[in-house]
Amino acid sequence: MYYGYGRGYGYGMGFDPLYILVIIMAILCMVASARVSSVYKKYARIRSMSGLTGAQTAMEILRRNGITDVTVAHVSGNLTDHYDPKRRMVCLSDATYGSCSVAAVGVAAHECGHVLQHYTGYIPIRIRSAIVPAANIGSKAGIPIILLGFFLSFSPLVTIGIWVFSLAVIFQLVTLPVEFNASHRALVMLEQYGILGHEEITHSRKVLSAAAMTYVASAASAVVQLFRLVLIYGRRGND
Ligand SMILES: [Zn+2]
């Protein structure tokens, strides 16, 4: 059944109002990632009182939590810090590993937050880990499948494509509680273990909040893209 969305809103004439929103979201993603770089740079210049490096911070947090089977490794790149649950490795980047800035300490603690999420069986990270393979397929193959179904005028393929793409969107949404919770754990531990002072915590919080905004922007962008795909192709696919 055709709902007339395309005609009413000018899709048939090549004008796509939701595309403007997609572009705005893409710009917001760029702004968020530029901001995290500049905030990181700012707080990378402030040395923490404890003098612990990012790597030492991570080791201390792991030790305090009785975690002995996770190692702390140095990876190259800029803001490439992550926790690799398969290899049980907290990977800290050039700017984090050997630096004792409040930015480096905050990021290192955040990655340990992810370690603890795995250790405590935090539900959102379990969901996230479970859908990683499907989400990877969804982000690469979703739109091509939809387009193929559309050009072949084969609506089941369009529907499959939209569902596959939805997995990538769900992944982005589940990432949000995972990231906010890791940062929350990080700041609580830094204060509790006396690694950072009260004012230093507020600096680290600014770095981690800026990083979280990049995830919010990309999740919002993915939701808008999905919404647009459903409006354009979903309804036509059901003709
Ligand atoms: Zn994270």
Percent of the chain residues topping a pLDDT of 70: 91
- Per-residue pLDDT tens over the stretch 64-111: 999 999 999 999 988 899 999 999 999 999 999 999 999 999 999 999
* CA nearest neighbour of 206 among 189, 186, 192: 186
Q: Of the residues 60, 111, 179, 200, which is catalytic?
A: 111
Distance 15 CA to ligand 1 centre (A): 38
Distance 73 CA to ligand 1 centre (A): 16
Query: 3-state SS of the chain: helix, strand, coil percent to 5?
Result: 75, 5, 20
Band of pLDDT at residue 14, cut at 50, 70 and 90: low
Where is pLDDT greater, at 76 or 236?
Answer: 76
Query: Is residue 111 flagged as an active site residue?
Result: yes
**Stretch 209-215: mean pLDDT:** 95
Distance 74 CA to ligand 1 centre (A): 16
Q: Which amino acid type is present at position 4?
A: G
Distance 114 CA to ligand 1 centre (A): 7
Distance 107 CA to ligand 1 centre (A): 8
Tell me the whole-structure pTM to 2 decimals.
0.86
**Stretch 38-63: mean pLDDT:** 95
Distance 182 CA to ligand 1 centre (A): 6
Q: Is the pLDDT of residue 147 over 90?
A: no
Q: How far apart are CA 22 and CA 232, in angstroms?
A: 13
Let me know: does 122 contact 74? Beta carbons within 8 Å: no
The pLDDT, as a whole number, for residue 2 is 37
Distance of CA 10 to the CA centre of its chain: 34
- Per-residue pLDDT tens over the stretch 20-43: 888 999 999 999 999 999 999 999
* CA nearest neighbour of 174 among 229, 224, 227, 131: 131
